[in-house]
């Protein structure tokens, strides 16, 4: 299935739950509401000729004004690859944990919780992970984060 057929098939199959975005350059990118993320993920994994059983990675994104979380999925059986994007609210970013569908998500979500501060609901063990044990300076990967010893790369004027 090429990119466009895949897009129609998925949009047709999951009527209204997700809409394709143009910013996905190479593989189809869909936007999903946070509420029906789990149902979409369940369908994508179990549908007969989709079978996205391989979760490549989950990327937390802070675009300066909004938070997003992107799931990159792949299907080993049918050689397909898509991305799912969920836009989160700026004040209280929280998202459902997709751990039951893809167990690989455990550590990715834990890392996003620690570096971005998204609250992952019923994840299980959201504990200190990558940062130093006595880290208390907030969520470092956010764009508006700063710290006393955080040295910015000087702007080289061209």
Partner 1 sequence: MSGLLTQEFTVNMGPHHPSTHGVCRLILTMDGEKVVKIEPVIGYLHRSMEKICENRTYAQCVPLMDRFEYVTAMSAEYVFVNAVEKLAEIEVPERAEYLRVIMLELNRIASHLIFYGATAMDIGALTPFIYGLRERELIIDLFEMTCGQRLTYNYMKIGGVSHDIPKEFIPKCREAVKIIGEKMSDYEGLLNENPIWLARTKNVGVLPTDLAKAYGVSGPVLRASGVKYDIRKNDPYSIYDRFDFNIPCRHNGDSYDRYLLRLDEIRESLKIIIQALDGLPEGDTLKKVNPFNFKPPAGEMYSRIENSRGEMGVYIISDGTTKPLRVKMRGSSYNHVQVLPKVATGVLIADLVATFATLDVIMPEVDR
Partner 2 sequence: MGIIKKLPVYSEKIPGGGLVLTSLDAIFNYSRACSVWYLLFGTACCAIELMCTGAARYDFDRLGMIFRATPRQADVIIVAGTITKKFAPRLRRLYDQMAEPRYIIAMGGCTVNGGPFYYDCYSVEKGIDHIVPVDVYIPGCPPRPESLLEGCLHLQKKIKTQTISDWQEK
Query: For partner 2, which is the closer residue by CB, 94 or 146?
Result: 146
Q: How many residues does the chain have?
A: 158
What Rg, from alpha-carbon coordinates, does the chain have? Answer: 17
CB 75 within 8 A of CB 49: no
Site for partner 1 in 14-53 (CB under 8 A): 23-27, 29, 53
Six-digit token string for 80 = 């397909």
* Choices 12-20, 35-43, 90-98, 148-156; region in contact with partner 2 by CB under 8 A: 148-156
Q: Does 143 bind partner 2 (CB under 8 A)?
A: no
Under rule CB under 8 A, residue 151 binds partner 2: yes
> Considering the complex, what minimum distance in angstroms separates the CB of residue 158 from partner 2?
18
Site string for partner 2, 81-120 (x = CB under 8 A): ----------------------------------------
3-state secondary structure of 57: strand
d(CA 103, CA 38): 14
Q: What angle do CA 38, 40, 43 make, to 5 degrees?
A: 105
Q: Which of 49, 38, 7 is nearest to 24 (CA)?
A: 7
Q: What angle do CA 117, 53, 26 make, to 5 degrees?
A: 75
Cβ distance to partner 2 smaller for residue 20 or 140: 140
Q: Which two tokens stand for residue 87?
A: 């836009």
58 strand-pairing partners: 71
Selected binder of partner 1 within 2, 15, 91, 153 (CB under 8 A): 153
Residues that bind partner 1 (CB under 8 A): 23-27, 29, 53-57, 59, 61-63, 70, 72, 74, 76, 79, 81, 83, 85, 102-104, 106-108, 129-132, 140-141, 143, 152-153, 158
Residues that bind partner 2 (CB under 8 A): 130-133, 137, 140, 145, 147, 149-154
């Amino acid at each position: 299935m090429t990119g466009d057929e895949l897009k129609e098939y998925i949009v047709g199959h999951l009527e209204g739950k997700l809409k394709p975005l143009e910013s996905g350059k190479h593989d189809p990118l869909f936007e999903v509401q946070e509420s029906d993320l789990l149902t979409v993920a369940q369908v994508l994994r179990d549908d007969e000729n989709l079978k996205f059983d391989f979760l490549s990675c989950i990327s937390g994104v802070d675009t300066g004004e909004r938070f997003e979380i992107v799931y990159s999925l792949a299907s080993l059986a049918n050689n397909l690859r898509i991305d799912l994007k969920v836009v989160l609210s700026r004040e209280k970013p929280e998202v459902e944990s997709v751990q039951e569908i893809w167990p690989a998500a455990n550590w990715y979500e834990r890392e996003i919780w620690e570096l971005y501060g998204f609250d992952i609901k019923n994840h299980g063990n959201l504990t200190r992970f990558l940062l130093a044990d006595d880290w208390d300076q907030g969520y470092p990967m956010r764009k508006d984060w700063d710290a006393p010893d955080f040295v910015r790369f000087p702007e080289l004027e061209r």
